[in-house]
Structure 1
Amino acid sequence: MAKRQELRMDACPVARALTVVGDQWSLMIVRDAFDGVRRFGVFQKNLGVARNILADRLRKLVENGILDMAPASDGTAYGEYVLTPKGLSLFGVLVTLRQWSEAHLYGAGESHSTMVERDTGTAVPTMRLSRPDGRVLGPADTVVNKLPVLP
């Protein structure tokens, strides 16, 4: 099995993505950032993660261009973490992961948070991979063209 460091240069896009956001804390930090969390202390309180682990994940998310540091919006000396355009582009990933969880990890009638459109309050539609003509694509409709293995 390849070491985590080696996956940063892997030919597989999934493997590369997992080196940046492939642990639970990184995605939970990004989730909270989408919910408006910007301060270290609030991330720590919401997640209940050890400070050293949180500091490490935040540092890695900043190094990888997912989050950026900004001056505090209230004028205090504290810095704030803000999603970059690269981080904002993870929104669909989190929505898809949320919807998969809702469909497969909750029992009938079991309560959980829900995602709704801000303006209307209606449930966000299920994410679907589709062709330009609207036909839904599934695993049988796609193939990954892998690079040849070099000797």
Structure 2
Amino acid sequence: MVRNLKKASAAIALTALLAVGVASGAQATSGSGTAYFDNGQPITANMWIQSVAKGGCGSFASSAVMNVSPNWIRNTTSFYQYGVGSISIKGVNVSGSGTSNPATIQWTNSNGARGSYLSGTVCMGWGSFYLGADVAATAYYYGNLRTASAHV
């Protein structure tokens, strides 16, 4: 009976440890990059992606932002993985969303907006062990075209 009690206690302790590990495992990676127009105005690319376990899914958010309103501003976000299977993007209804490796989505604002934003859920292929992302922020402003990028 003592032996069974020790096994049960060990199983409970292991379950609690795993639960704490899973709960605290929601980590993320982020990055940004900036480029400048001839008049000194910056354009910034931002990328944030939740750490994804093997074959899993995670949240992401990307942006292309400026301090002023350009003629147009575009956010092109691409996901890549190491391993096999297709990447899928969920919760984003923009041109280019779908499944592929790499998977790319894009959104252009030409209505005087100062930014272009994308967010949703991305899932790596069943046989993959790493998922990363790139974002390119491109804008036409002040008679120039500039691109800033970030990689995570």
TM range (shorter): under 0.3
Larger Rg computed on CA atoms: 2
Higher strand share: 2
How high is the TM-score relative to the length of structure 1? Answer: 0.20
How high is the TM-score relative to the length of structure 2? Answer: 0.20
Structure number with the bigger relative contact order (C-alpha 8 A, sep ≥ 6) is 2
